[in-house]
Amino acid sequence: MMTAAAEPLWMRTLRSKARERFEGMHWPVTSEEEWRRTDVNRLGLDSYAPVSALTPACPRETEPGAAAAVIRFRANKCIEVGLAGQWQDAGVRLLPLDNALEEFEAPLHTLYEKALADADNRFLAWHYASLSHGALLWVPPGLEIKEPIFIDFEEDGTGTMSAPHVAVLLGAGSRASVVQRIAARKGAPGGMLCNAVVDIRLADAAGLQYWEQQELAPTDLYVRHVRAEVGRDSTLRHFDAEFGARWAKTRVDCSLDGPGAEAFLDGAYYCGAGQHMDLRTVQRHRSPKATSRAVYKGAVAGGGRTIFQGLIEVAPGASGTDAYLTNRNLILGEGARSDSIPTLKIGNNDVKCSHGSTTGRLNAEELFYLESRGLSDADAREMLVVGYFEDILTLAPVGFKAGALAAIKGRLRAAA
Amino acid sequence: MKGQSPVVEIAEYQHGYHFPDESVFKTKKGLNEEIVNAISHRKEEPEWMRQFRLRSLAAFRKKPMPNWGADLSDLDFENLYYYARPQEQQSRSWEDVPANIKETFERIGIPEAERKFLAGVGAQYDSEMVYHSIKEDLTKQGVIFTDPETAVREHPDLVKQYFGTVIPYLDNKFAALNSAVWSGGSFVYVPKGVKVEVPLQAYFRINAKSFGQFERTLIIADEGSFVHYIEGCTAPVYATESLHSAVVEIIALEGARVRYTTIQNWSNDVYNLVTKRAVAHKDAIVEWVDGNIGAKRTMKYPSIWLMGEGAHGEVLSIAFAGKGQEQDTGAKAVHAASHTSSIVTAKSISRGGGISSYRGLLKVNEGLHDVRSRVVCDALILDEKSRSNTYPYMEIDSDDVSIEHEARVSKISEDQLFYLMSRGMSEQEASLMIVSGFLDPLVKQLPMEYAVELNRLIELEMEGTVG
């Protein structure tokens, strides 16, 4: 940890606290409900060595082009950062995390202390102890940024654990849209563990769209926690596109903390042969009159294994809650396994809560129809699978949608 | 018990009879080999059953308490009686039934007509069948309807073949407990092709302080047969906790159909921890109709294992969780064969701080085709103190499936209330009507006398919910 000395004291203290938490915890075991279907104890987690922490970044300045801002990482180094001049002048910040630790000490310190206090598994403690690289986005109150902000992680490593991190702080009434990609560097040998966290805090009446896509190497392991606090009249739209890694465990934990808060937690996943994906969403209604929706759609090929565990939790005082949760699984071949567990915990009666789940395969009649029009079996399948995913991507930025659909097509073709 | 809560008063008035305990033989409190041996000895059981009980006791000690479900922290296994026998002889006819037991039945309200016309009434007082009559034509048809002790003596081959095969003694802590100390229950065998036209019924009643009841019911429906078994229970109110932990096993052989209906209304100090499971072979149909109104804690998930092609399973479940109650109920359907289907409909009502939870499993094994399942859960929460949880587990390991699940949680809609009240109903009447409508799909599935009884119970439970 060559840079530990360069970090401000508060961060060093926080890291050692996290280290203590880590030492005091054991790896999740299958008797814990969330980990019942995902056994981490065969992954040899102790053999992954954390990569060195927060190498001082001297990234190249770049022009964000059509985007509002862009930041790029290769392995655990920030290589490029760019922010459009008008946003720079307006006080927007998109910084490599190590450069943000002093300027944003107060909010980050609070955020991380709380995250650590809430940490309910060893991966989270490990992340904060070994946080290796990442970005901070700050949007001052009242600003509305229409163009997307790109955060790009090119992960690379073998036998190592990287802990990329993104902190998003939106001032009251501000708006932003982030497109984040975590992918293996082209030609990377694979075999790493990526333990990522996204911390989101929205002040009153803020609006954030956060579009995530994961395309790690087929030998990588992936753990990702999103922690979001959505304030009064704020809106979070989070989208999770999961494609890569041989083993992935993700969680989006969103707490609705003020009246009028809204959260839309959507996801698309494609799980191929030999992949194991365990995805979780939590819609935590802590305040009255908040709304949340979660829609996760997946496709599972033969030899793939998916688990979706969703939870709507309504606190006793959260009256006027309107919450919905749905999970759909498309099973593409024999030997696919798909578990769906959408749960509700409702602690008051003035609510409208529902959930739904469907699991099935491609409609044989639709396939037949397309094939009778001269499409090959592969083309017809591709068209139906793309159509299945398309509707949850309607609100995505054009580039994100195209990228996600391209990834799905690529996987289908590779499997064919 | 003056004033405040009319519900409690009426409930006690309805079901709160307590007759002096006249058990003839009773084991000491707590559980050990000695007690298990004493039970077995008392029942004059063959050695294999005694061994089975002892193996089960060992399993019970080893098995952990479930780390999920209802709060069982107040349950003390050492502070319970595990066996009591009310009379020396099993009564052969109605005239022989002791007057105080007759009076109990009178008060539960088994109508006179029902006693005469129903095929068989197996009424359980404490742990054993005290009254058992099977109409002659059923006997002629070869139907066996008796208590399991008699079955062990008189039909050992059938019992050995099926007993503990659907729910092994190692299955879970409470099944192990039941396997060790079981006493009473029903044994039903319906021969090939026989359709039992009238429902078989058994009333259960707990009537000894801190007394555990561990019925063991085994129903075997041979090829192409049909039987509807009804179990209803009301229990006197006691201050100390009682444990009820039954095991019900159903085997529906090829082409058979079995329907099992329960309306459970234990008094609100009973722990009702029951394991119910059925296997449906080729083209068989199993239906569980399960109503849970009473008990302090209920954990009950009627299950169907669809083992043969063409099998169909259905579970219709309602739960009513009032003050101090936790109804942790649900259903399980395991598809182990192609061309099988299942339907689960669950409805729950929580009020007065009660907690109702739906916990279900839908599993499709590997390599199957044409499997269909639909699970629908509806929950009503009547006040802001009450809670409702839904935990559906869907594990799908085959591709040619169609699985649907939906759940809704809400309160009584103000629009509906307003509409009914604008037609001149009081809020109480309007609420009752909405709740009755909500439960209607279940009530419709019940034989008339049970529908009437259930409606009366719901009416009682609903009193005092408004204002």
Reply yes or no on whether the pLDDT at B32 is more than 50: yes
Domain coverage including residue B456: 413-467
Indicate whether B242 belongs to any domain: yes
Span A186-199, average pLDDT: 94
Q: Domain end: B272, B300, B328, which one?
A: B300
**The 3-state secondary structure of B159-182, one letter per residue:** HHHHCCCCCCCCCCHHHHHHHHHC
Mean pLDDT of A343-368: 90
In a domain, B350, yes or no: no
Residue-level length of chain B: 467
- State how far the Cα of A170 lies from the Cα of A188, in Å rounded to an integer: 35
Give chain B's count of helices (H) and strands (E). 12, 23
Is A348 close to B381, i.e. CB distance below 8 A? yes
Whether A288 contacts A321, CB under 8 Å:
yes
pTM, two decimals, is 0.85
Band of residue B443 on the pLDDT scale cut at 50, 70, 90: confident
- Judged by a CB distance cut-off of 8 A, whether residue B67 touches chain A is yes
In a domain, B183, yes or no: yes
Give the model confidence (pLDDT) of A247-286 as tens digits. Answer: 999 999 999 999 999 999 999 999 999 999 999 999 999 9
Cβ-based contacts of B406 with chain A (< 8 Å): 354-357
pLDDT mean over B285-289: 96
Using an 8 Å Cβ cutoff, are A49 and A159 in contact?
Answer: yes
Residue where a domain terminates, one of B273, B300, B327: B300
Four-CA torsion A123, A128, A133, A138, nearest 10 degrees: 120
B68 occurs within a structural domain: yes
* More confidently predicted of B464 and A169: A169
Enumerate residues 265 to 304 of chain A having a beta carbon within 8 A of any beta carbon in chain B: 302
Nearest to B396 among A33, A338, A356 (CB): A338
Residues of A in contact with B403 (CB under 8 A): 340, 357-360
Answer with the residue of higher pLDDT: B74 or B131.
B74
Residues pairing with A194 in the sheet: A162, A222
Query: How close B456 comes to chain A (CA, Å)?
Result: 24
CA distance B264 to B272: 9
> CA dihedral in degrees (A301, A304, A307, A308; nearest 10)?
-30
In this prediction, residue A28 has a pLDDT band, given cuts at 50, 70 and 90, of: very high
**For residue A257, which of A229, A226, A235 has the smallest C-alpha distance?**
A229
Instruction: Mark whether B122 and B246 lie in a shared domain.
Output: yes
pLDDT at A67: 92
Q: What is the pLDDT of residue B25?
A: 62
> What's the confidence (pLDDT) of residue A63?
85
B171-180 per-position pLDDT tens digit: 999 999 999 9
Of B67, B393, B411, the CB nearest to A349: B411
Q: Domain total for chain B?
A: 2
Q: Tell whether B342 lies on the interface with A, counting CB pairs under 8 A.
A: no
pLDDT tens readout for residues A32-48:
889 999 999 889 999 99
Q: What is the ipTM of this complex?
A: 0.82
Tens-digit pLDDT profile for residues B182-223: 988 889 999 999 999 878 876 543 443 334 478 899 999 999
Contact A246, A219 (CB under 8 A): yes
Does the pLDDT of residue B124 top 50, yes or no?
no
Of the candidates B388, B392, B400, the beta carbon closest to that of A361 is on B400
Rg (CA), chain A: 21
> Is the pLDDT confidence value at B1 over 70?
no
User: Which residue, of B263, B284, B300, is where some domain finishes?
Assistant: B300
Give SS3 for B56.
helix
Cβ contact A194:A219 at 8 Å: no
Shortest alpha-carbon distance between residue A283 and chain B (Å) = 14
**Looking at residues A179-184, what average pLDDT do you find?**
97
DSSP bridge partners of B343: B314, B374
Q: What is the pLDDT of residue B114?
A: 44
Mean pLDDT of B145-163: 92
Q: What residue ranges do the domains of chain A occupy?
A: 4-257, 364-416
Tokens representing A403 are 């990228």
Could you report the per-residue pLDDT of A117-133, keeping only the tens digit for each? 999 999 999 999 999 99
* Total beta-carbon pairs less than 8 A apart between chain A and chain B: 114
Q: Does B379 touch chain A (CB under 8 A)?
A: yes
- Measured CA to CA in angstroms, residue A28 lies from A25, A41, A42, B14, B447 at distances of 9, 8, 11, 50, 49
B96 interfacial to chain A (CB closer than 8 Å): no
Please report residues of B whose CB lies closer than 8 A to that of A351.
381, 409-411
Please say whether the beta carbons of A333 and A302 come within 8 A. yes
Reduced DSSP (H G I as helix, E B as strand, rest coil) percent helix, strand, coil of chain B, to 5: 25, 35, 35
> What is the overall mean pLDDT for chain A?
93
* B63 close to A (CB below 8 A): no
